[in-house]
Structure 1
Amino acid sequence: MSMYRQLWLAISLSTLLALAGSLFASIMSSRAYLNEQLRMKNNDNATVLALSLSQKNIDATELELIVASLFDNGHYQSIKVTDPKGQLLVEKTSPEEHTSVPDWFTKLLPISSQPGTAQISSGWKQVGSISIVSQTGTAYQTLWNSTREMILALALSGLLASYLGTLVIRRLKKPLRDLIDQARAMVERRFITVEESRVPELRQLSVAMNSTTTLLKAMFAEEAERLDQLRRQANTDTVCGLYNRANFLSQLQITVEEENAPPGSLVMIRINGLIEANRTLGRVKTDTLLRNLGQILNVYQNDLPDGFAARLNGTDFALLSRNSAIENVVASLLEQITSLFSSSDANLKAFIGYGHFEYGISPSILLSQVDAAVASAEATDLSSVHKAAPLNIEHAPKSLEEWSKLIQRALDQNWVKLDYFPVINHQKKLIHQESALRLMFGGEWFPAGRFLPIAERLGLSAKLDVISVKLALDAIESQASEHQISVNISAKSIQDPEFREQIKALLSIKPQASKSLWLEIPEIGAFSNLDTFRNFQKTIDSYGCKLGLEHFGKNLEQINLLNTLDIDFVKFDVSFVRNIEAIPANFDFLKGAVAILHRMNLQVYVEGLARKEEFDALASLDLEGMTGPYIGKLLSH
């Protein structure tokens, strides 16, 4: 039995016992009072009648008439008059009085009418005695009526007491339930704070629990921040604070291979005259100059979508982003760099080249195109910006209007399907399958990277996500896939209330299939729209599908936010996995992060494994699963 029920039962029993005791005491007191009243009435009436008869010299006939008159006018059970020798002179008795009082009540609470006696005298001579016994029916009726009234009054009092007790329990129940939920969340590695109770004892407990939660959250955040700092230090240039060449090349490979991402731009900056500056200014001043340049690029890195700035070698720098409208950015960048150089005593020049890219371009081709643009700027021998020649990518995007017609036609004709990619553990057991949407244009199936950026600009991303979820549920229900399926949902889609209602409708139609569905939201989209993410989580909460974050790890310093999100898993971004066997700092970072996330009761997966060496390096980590190009090759052999 729960504590609340025990407390309510204790209050109820205490109230019942108190009321029962009060009722018993009141009834017995009323019964004793009525007995005493009957006794006094009998005595008083006997005394009055005896005095009345003592003042008269009456014969037997007159005596009988007086007694009969008195008997008829009063509620008497009997009146007896005897002579001094005890001989009966007159006796009047009445039959048993009938009332509405139940027999069980009269038997349970008998009322005794004690006879009242008095002497009849003539002067100093005793001439007889009189005995009077009153009827008890009226007394029983009075006791019965008062008992019923007391029971009703005490019952109402009991109900009121129970109601007040319930209010007290409810007042205690909410803060206790909050504390229980907080303790359960801590067991599940979720750290939430609760409102402090107004009950002094519970307030002390809630303050202690909140302090513990805050301390644990701080410990996890500090550990995550320490790991992230160690990783950054190992992957950055010590002078200017930007990422190093190896990290940049990995990030470039990942960026151009990411299917569900918009196009972007690559900017390369070559600084001419650094060797001479180092000789004339000295190493310290030159390093300060490079550090200031790194700060300029770091600002652009933070401002641009998916910005990534790196130092490729002594004189070359790069800036990678998902912003394809980069012209104004490079013009501003050139202005800031030349302003920085003009404030120094060195004769430095900046040659900038840039080019656009999209899904499917080879990193080496992109680098060579942009490097050619830098060379063109360098040939002018003036600080300047040059754009790379158009990249010849197969199936290059058409105009926005043409893309709109193609996408709409594919949707109208139902030229849609899902491709699947396995997620396995190190024992090669299939955990679930990641899905990717495909649309058919002109008889050829196009990957999502070709049309999703355009679809987002056309406002069709939510519609495409609904289609993906429907196809996944159909596949699960038809047992076309023996395992669970995950679907990527864009952060923009979950902001749409209509989209959330459509997903809810799909899940409610196929509740059994919903239990095998995994939904993934990009980390950056979830963290930047926490309220929207929570609303989406509430929408799908009752249908049993799993919810998690993909492309995870780039904002590990915000790990405390995971405590406020009811998610099941995370998938680390491919940038933490690529060439991990050759980058110890990334391995140590991932190992520590996995340990923290497991303590938070989250499943951990990694994305984008491309090589056997990466697969082998991750074997020592306690991961739930991994996916990527290498996994498909591994299972096909």
Structure 2
Amino acid sequence: MTLYRQLIIFTVVLFLLLFTGTWYAKLANTRTFLTDQLESHVQDTATSLALSVSPHVAQKDLTTVEGMINALFDRGYYQRITYTDPRGEVLIDRTLPVKVEDVPQWFVKLVPLKTPEAEADVMAGWNQGGTILVKSHPGYAYETLWNEVISMTVWFAGCAVFMLAAVGIGLKLLLKPLAAVERQADALGRGEYELQDPLPRTREFKSVAEAMNRMTVKVKEMFGEQAARAEGLQERAYHDPLTGIGNRRYFETQVGADLGEGQGRGLLILARVHALEALNTERGLQAGDELLKRVALLLQEAVSGYGDAVLSRLTGGDFGIFLPHHSSAEAEIVATEIASELGRLARERLSLSDNIANLGVAAYEGSVTLSRLLSEADLALSAAQSKGANGWELRAVSGESALPMGQQQWKESLVKALEERRVTLDAQAVIANTKERGVRQLELFARIAQEDGTALDAALFLPIAERLKLVSAIDRMVIEEALRFDFRSIGVERIAVNISPTSLEDEAFRGWLHGYLKGLPAGAPHINFEFSEFAAVQHLEMIREFAAAVRACGHGIGLDHYGRSFSKLGYLKSLRPEYVKIDRAYTGELLSGENDSGFYVASLCSVAHSIDIAVVAEGVESEEQAAVLKELNLDAMQGYFFGRPRPLSSFTAA
């Protein structure tokens, strides 16, 4: 119960006690006054009547005496008038039944009135001629008392209404600073750091507001320190200090994690800067460092349009670029652009010759290893050196189950698959980091069934679908197919679906999705729409608006590959996803003896938990990894150790 309500109730109770006491005192005083009046009135009546009838009693004119008594009695103010002779014999007796009109009987019983009576002697000359007894009637007294109670109650009720209104308005004004403190505390719980300005004038409230402001500033500093610590760990462990891009460790973990996911396609480009040692000898180390920085910046700009690119300085003058899900046709575009920019850089005379660097490109399809890709790229690099200054060479690498390339073939295959709704769904459980290890949610993966019965993973067809403007149609079909399944039958209340930011740029898709979500039945599962961290940072405002729209329908968003991007972690405060998934590259390093990986994961968890964001670990493949992650305070885990993705239809009720 709020303080405002408590104060209102306290005020009402206090007023009721005051009103009850005043009302009772007023009632008692009025009753005493009326009783005294009745006693005075009845005594005066008895005395005056005795004096009036005395002459007629002396003349023994009983008829006149009776007439005078009747005249007085008929006025209705008396319950009884009796005339008795000196021997006590009743000569005249008039009695009126007690009947109180216009007054509730419960009131008559609740408030008894003493009915006074009085006697007076009737004289016959010097002798006593009898006695007059007059007893008052309480009816008029009750009526007067009832009317007084009614007017008093109405008056107090009016005062109560006015007082409650005044107290309510007054308390709202007085407690306004507390409402500001409440808003500030709520904002702090959401990771928003609001300060009260101006401060309240009331001394006590001012002290509370100042304390809240100090706490808010402190919590903001703590969050900043946590984020800076995590970013510092990432920078020391995975950054090249000279060029500011990733180092060899970052390259190997990221590329290894991508290649470990199975079949796919992509490019690995190896760039080698020439004559670096001679440049350092002739012009100094600073000249060599400047050349490396310029080459790193050139490569960054060349791959800036590829959201999933991995760029690192491997060693000395060697740089590695990894572009997953891209074909050899794109390799020519990227390599040609880089070679052209190297030619322009050569004209700045930063190197000892015009041949600044050569490129070796390995384009792969199917399942391959990083060591093989590096070997193939190194062979291509050797061939590129014979082509002249800043030349490049491409080698195609076919892995196991390699798939044919060709954009037109892909387009025809995708369009036909969509027309025939050959989109199938696999699911993998996300396991809660508890002793019971229950299913927290199911993540769904889209696959396209080919005509020969084989299935294509999303990693193969989604990049091409985005270029062909088909990805929103695929995302729509995935959502429709997913929600046809009865998740309640397997005890799952939450599912995760990956959608592309490209789909959110489609106004028709956004309109359809919002209407579709609003029309879901009450028993439908809670949906978390997942985006990669890089996509979230690049499309922050668009995804934030999307998150607000789906949350209004009871759903949420999640971030995939958390920590893969070198972005500042402050963006989490504005996006506020329901959870983040730590990239499998960091999970895979936990058992390699690299303690800083564990520290980095723990720091990421601390940053996320400080603003009420859950943390999930990807790529858990062993009990040892699960045990280490459990100690790092993660909320859930996902990986082959808990089960590989399998067809959604294979999940049955327990």
Instruction: Decide: shared fold, TM above 0.5.
Output: yes
Paired residue for 1:572? 582
- The count of residues paired between Structure 1 and Structure 2 equals 615
Query: Does structure 2 conserve the Cα–Cα contact (< 8 Å) formed by 1:80 and 1:88?
Result: no
What's the CA shift for 1:439? 0.9
For residues 11 and 283 of structure 1, the distance between their equivalents in structure 2, rounded to whole angstroms, comes to 81
Q: 1:240 aligns with which of 224, 240, 243?
A: 243
Q: CA 1:620/1:132 → structure 2, altered by over 3 Å: closer, same or farther?
A: closer
Q: 1:410 aligns with which of 417, 423, 439?
A: 417
In the alignment, structure 1 segments of 5+ residues that lack a partner are none
Q: 2:637 aligns with which of 617, 622, 625?
A: 625
1:580-591 correspondence runs (5 A): 581=592, 583-591=594-602
What's the CA shift for 1:87? 8.4
For residues 583 and 529 of structure 2, the distance between their equivalents in structure 1, rounded to whole angstroms, comes to 16
Q: Over residues 471-516 of structure 1, what are the superposed CA-to-partner deviations in whole Å (9 max), with x where a residue is unaligned? A: 556667597x89999644225357825325535655x3755xx38x
For residues 233 and 71 of structure 1, the distance between their equivalents in structure 2, rounded to whole angstroms, comes to 114
Q: CA 1:238/1:82 → structure 2, altered by over 3 Å: closer, same or farther?
A: closer
For residues 78 and 626 of structure 2, the distance between their equivalents in structure 1, rounded to whole angstroms, comes to 110
For residues 631 and 74 of structure 1, the distance between their equivalents in structure 2, rounded to whole angstroms, comes to 101
Query: Does structure 2 conserve the Cα–Cα contact (< 8 Å) formed by 1:266 and 1:320?
Result: yes
For residues 107 and 430 of structure 1, the distance between their equivalents in structure 2, rounded to whole angstroms, comes to 70
For residues 630 and 42 of structure 2, the distance between their equivalents in structure 1, rounded to whole angstroms, comes to 106
Paired residue for 1:350? 356
What's the CA shift for 1:159? 6.8
Structure 1 window deviating more from structure 2 (44-53 vs 529-538): it is: 44-53
Which amino acid is 2:413 matched to?
L
1:256-267 correspondence runs (5 A): none
For residues 131 and 624 of structure 2, the distance between their equivalents in structure 1, rounded to whole angstroms, comes to 127
Which amino acid is 2:637 matched to?
G
Paired residue for 1:38? 38
SS in structure 1 at match of 2:243: coil
SS in structure 2 at match of 1:561: helix
Paired residue for 1:99? 100
Are positions 1:18 and 2:21 aligned together?
A: no
For residues 565 and 153 of structure 1, the distance between their equivalents in structure 2, rounded to whole angstroms, comes to 56
Which amino acid is 1:240 matched to?
T
For residues 405 and 272 of structure 1, the distance between their equivalents in structure 2, rounded to whole angstroms, comes to 44
Q: What TM-score does the superposition give when structure 2 sets the normalisation length?
A: 0.71
Q: CA 1:464/1:198 → structure 2, altered by over 3 Å: closer, same or farther?
A: farther
SS in structure 2 at match of 1:279: helix
Q: CA 1:108/1:419 → structure 2, altered by over 3 Å: closer, same or farther?
A: closer
Paired residue for 1:451? 461
SS in structure 2 at match of 1:558: coil
For residues 293 and 20 of structure 2, the distance between their equivalents in structure 1, rounded to whole angstroms, comes to 87
Are positions 1:442 and 2:444 aligned together?
A: no
For residues 267 and 344 of structure 1, the distance between their equivalents in structure 2, rounded to whole angstroms, comes to 23
What's the CA shift for 1:403? 4.4
For residues 130 and 619 of structure 1, the distance between their equivalents in structure 2, rounded to whole angstroms, comes to 105
Which amino acid is 1:437 matched to?
A
Q: CA 1:345/1:314 → structure 2, altered by over 3 Å: closer, same or farther?
A: closer
Are positions 1:522 and 2:558 aligned together?
A: no
Q: Over residues 444-483 of structure 1, what are the superposed CA-to-partner deviations in whole Å (9 max), with x where a residue is unaligned? A: 321112222233445554554455456556667597x899
Which amino acid is 2:460 matched to?
R
For residues 40 and 332 of structure 1, the distance between their equivalents in structure 2, rounded to whole angstroms, comes to 121
What's the CA shift for 1:94? 3.6
Q: What TM-score does the superposition give when structure 1 sets the normalisation length?
A: 0.72
What's the CA shift for 1:573? 0.9
1:89-488 correspondence runs (5 A): 93-100=94-101, 101-112=103-114, 114=116, 133-151=135-153, 154=156, 191=191, 205=208, 208=211, 211-212=214-215, 215-216=218-219, 218-255=221-258, 268-295=270-297, 297-298=299-300, 304-320=306-322, 327=333, 331=337, 334-335=340-341, 338-339=344-345, 342=348, 344=350, 346-347=352-353, 349-351=355-357, 353=359, 360=366, 362=368, 378-379=385-386, 381-382=388-389, 384=390, 388=394, 394-399=403-408, 403=410, 405-420=412-427, 434-443=443-452, 444-457=454-467, 460-465=470-475, 467-468=477-478, 477=487, 487-488=496-497
Structure 1 window deviating more from structure 2 (332-341 vs 437-446): it is: 332-341
Query: Does structure 2 conserve the Cα–Cα contact (< 8 Å) formed by 1:490 and 1:522?
Result: no
Q: Over residues 204-230 of structure 1, what are the superposed CA-to-partner deviations in whole Å (9 max), with x where a residue is unaligned? A: 556645644553453244234223323
For residues 331 and 213 of structure 2, the distance between their equivalents in structure 1, rounded to whole angstroms, comes to 48
SS in structure 2 at match of 1:252: helix
Query: Does structure 1 conserve the Cα–Cα contact (< 8 Å) formed by 2:498 and 2:531?
Result: yes
What's the CA shift for 1:283? 1.8
Query: Does structure 2 conserve the Cα–Cα contact (< 8 Å) formed by 1:76 and 1:134?
Result: yes
For residues 203 and 325 of structure 1, the distance between their equivalents in structure 2, rounded to whole angstroms, comes to 65
For residues 179 and 110 of structure 2, the distance between their equivalents in structure 1, rounded to whole angstroms, comes to 47
1:531-570 correspondence runs (5 A): 531-540=545-554, 548-554=558-564, 557-558=568-569, 561=572, 565=576, 567=578, 569-570=579-580
Are positions 1:490 and 2:491 aligned together?
A: no
Which amino acid is 1:394 matched to?
L
Query: Does structure 2 conserve the Cα–Cα contact (< 8 Å) formed by 1:415 and 1:440?
Result: yes
Structure 1 window deviating more from structure 2 (454-463 vs 223-232): it is: 454-463
Q: CA 1:459/1:341 → structure 2, altered by over 3 Å: closer, same or farther?
A: closer
Structure 1 window deviating more from structure 2 (157-166 vs 457-466): it is: 157-166
Which amino acid is 1:231 matched to?
Q
For residues 95 and 630 of structure 2, the distance between their equivalents in structure 1, rounded to whole angstroms, comes to 107
Query: Does structure 1 conserve the Cα–Cα contact (< 8 Å) formed by 2:587 and 2:617?
Result: yes
What's the CA shift for 1:627? 1.8
Query: Does structure 2 conserve the Cα–Cα contact (< 8 Å) formed by 1:258 and 1:359?
Result: no
For residues 86 and 454 of structure 1, the distance between their equivalents in structure 2, rounded to whole angstroms, comes to 131
Q: CA 1:359/1:181 → structure 2, altered by over 3 Å: closer, same or farther?
A: farther
Whose helix proportion is higher, 1 or 2? Answer: 1
Q: CA 1:468/1:164 → structure 2, altered by over 3 Å: closer, same or farther?
A: farther
For residues 375 and 352 of structure 2, the distance between their equivalents in structure 1, rounded to whole angstroms, comes to 29
Which amino acid is 2:553 matched to?
T
What's the CA shift for 1:29? 2.5
Q: Over residues 534-574 of structure 1, what are the superposed CA-to-partner deviations in whole Å (9 max), with x where a residue is unaligned? A: 44345345xxxx9743211236742683697363x542112
Structure 1 window deviating more from structure 2 (413-422 vs 173-182): it is: 173-182
For residues 559 and 96 of structure 1, the distance between their equivalents in structure 2, rounded to whole angstroms, comes to 91
Q: Over residues 302-321 of structure 1, what are the superposed CA-to-partner deviations in whole Å (9 max), with x where a residue is unaligned? A: 67523433223333334445
What's the CA shift for 1:532? 2.4
SS in structure 1 at match of 2:356: strand
For residues 286 and 361 of structure 1, the distance between their equivalents in structure 2, rounded to whole angstroms, comes to 38
For residues 429 and 50 of structure 1, the distance between their equivalents in structure 2, rounded to whole angstroms, comes to 105
Paired residue for 2:649? none
1:52-91 correspondence runs (5 A): 60=61, 62=64, 64-73=66-75, 75-78=77-80
SS in structure 2 at match of 1:243: coil
Query: Does structure 2 conserve the Cα–Cα contact (< 8 Å) formed by 1:217 and 1:560?
Result: no
Paired residue for 2:652? none
What's the CA shift for 1:372? 7.2
Which amino acid is 2:233 matched to?
L
When the two chains are superposed, the root-mean-square deviation of aligned CA atoms in Å is: 5.7
Percent of counterpart pairs with the same letter?
Answer: 24
